Amino acid sequence: MNYSIITQQVVNLCRGVGKFIKDESLIIQSTDIELKGLHDLVSYVDRGAEELLIGELKKLVPEAGFIAEESGIVESAKYRWIIDPLDGTTNFVHKIPIFSISIALQEDSKTVIGVVYEINLDECFYAWKNCGAFLNGKPIHVSTTNLLSDSLIATGFPYYDFTRLKPYLALFEYLITNTHGIRRLGSAAVDLAYVACGRFEAFYEYGLHPWDVAAGAFIVERAGGQLSGFNEETEVVFGKDILASNALVHSNLLEIIKKYFTP
């Protein structure tokens, strides 16, 4: 398989479907929105975008299966696409311009391609196996900041699993008072892409799904960053929590996270 060519095709596909999502963002109404959970919104745009993506991705790698947020799992042996057609749906429906498409390709359960397209700024982040990471054709790298006190950190707020809310808030308080600050963009895929290109030193969240992180985590890794679970787990795509960083602040941050999130 030529990963570089397929990545380019996925990038082009994301730009096309991104245009559909952007056009719909101008006309979507509150009656078009359904609740999957209290804080879990979905619309015809999420479903329509996923249908368009799956239709085209099937042509690129006909033997691949799918793990897709809105339509579920189609099993396969060697290859599978992991897709979030619209990451940041709450932003999308509230007309806050940070939302993205996130697509990863796995081969034998290891990610080999990752593409995150942030639609409003027209920024496409991508990487493929044995290569670096790129933003709109230019190489990107994680930041070189090595002090937590100089770091800007991203997170996502818990929205369905509140069992770990107390340690989450205690950690949040610590980081607010000991770093440059915390941001919550509302798209985990964009958070990860921003770690990859050095805008954030780190990103952490629990309760994410494979489609939120598969592409972004791979791009962070290819951009020189580090990934783990809150307890040093190495599997992050199917894990229950994620810390992504520029590698330089990883162990320091992990030590602090572990103090709050005891296994």
Binding site for ligand IPD (CB under 6 A): 84, 87-90, 156, 159, 186-188, 205, 208, 212
CB atoms within 10 A of CB 97: 13
Tell me the sheet residues that pair with 205: 242
- Could you say which DSSP state residue 233 is in? -
From the list Ca ion, ligand IPD, none, pick the one residue 111 interacts with, judged by a Cβ distance below 5 to 8 Å according to partner type: none
Tokens read off for 53: 């993506």
- Do residues 198 and 240 touch, judged by C-beta distance below 8 A? no
CA distance 97 to 120: 6
Q: Which is nearer to ligand IPD, 201 or 212 (CB)?
A: 212
Q: Which is nearer to ligand IPD, 9 or 187 (CB)?
A: 187
Q: What are phi and psi of 143, to 5 degrees?
A: -75, 165
Q: Which is nearer to Ca ion, 144 or 159 (CB)?
A: 159
* Least distance between ligand IPD and beta carbon 225 (Å): 18
Q: Which is nearer to ligand IPD, 84 or 118 (CB)?
A: 84
* Least distance between ligand IPD and beta carbon 73 (Å): 17
Q: Which is nearer to ligand IPD, 5 or 121 (CB)?
A: 121
Q: Could you give the angle at the alpha carbon of 226 between the alpha carbons of 224 and 227, nearest 5°?
A: 140
* Least distance between Ca ion and beta carbon 256 (Å): 26
* Least distance between ligand IPD and beta carbon 159 (Å): 6
Binding site for Ca ion (CB under 5 A): 69, 84, 86-87, 212
From the list Ca ion, ligand IPD, none, pick the one residue 156 interacts with, judged by a Cβ distance below 5 to 8 Å according to partner type: ligand IPD
CA distance 78 to 61: 11
CB atoms within 10 A of CB 141: 15
From the list ligand IPD, Ca ion, none, pick the one residue 187 interacts with, judged by a Cβ distance below 5 to 8 Å according to partner type: ligand IPD
Long-range pairs for 96-100: beta carbons < 8 A, 24 or more residues apart: 96/186, 97/121, 98/185, 98/186, 98/187, 98/190, 99/21, 99/25, 99/186, 99/187, 99/190, 100/187, 100/189, 100/190, 100/193
User: What residue number has its CB nearest to ligand IPD?
Assistant: 156
Q: Which is nearer to Ca ion, 88 or 224 (CB)?
A: 88
* Least distance between ligand IPD and beta carbon 93 (Å): 9
From the list ligand IPD, Ca ion, none, pick the one residue 186 interacts with, judged by a Cβ distance below 5 to 8 Å according to partner type: ligand IPD
* Least distance between Ca ion and beta carbon 69 (Å): 5
Q: Reduced to 3 states, what is the DSSP secondary structure of residue 255?
A: helix
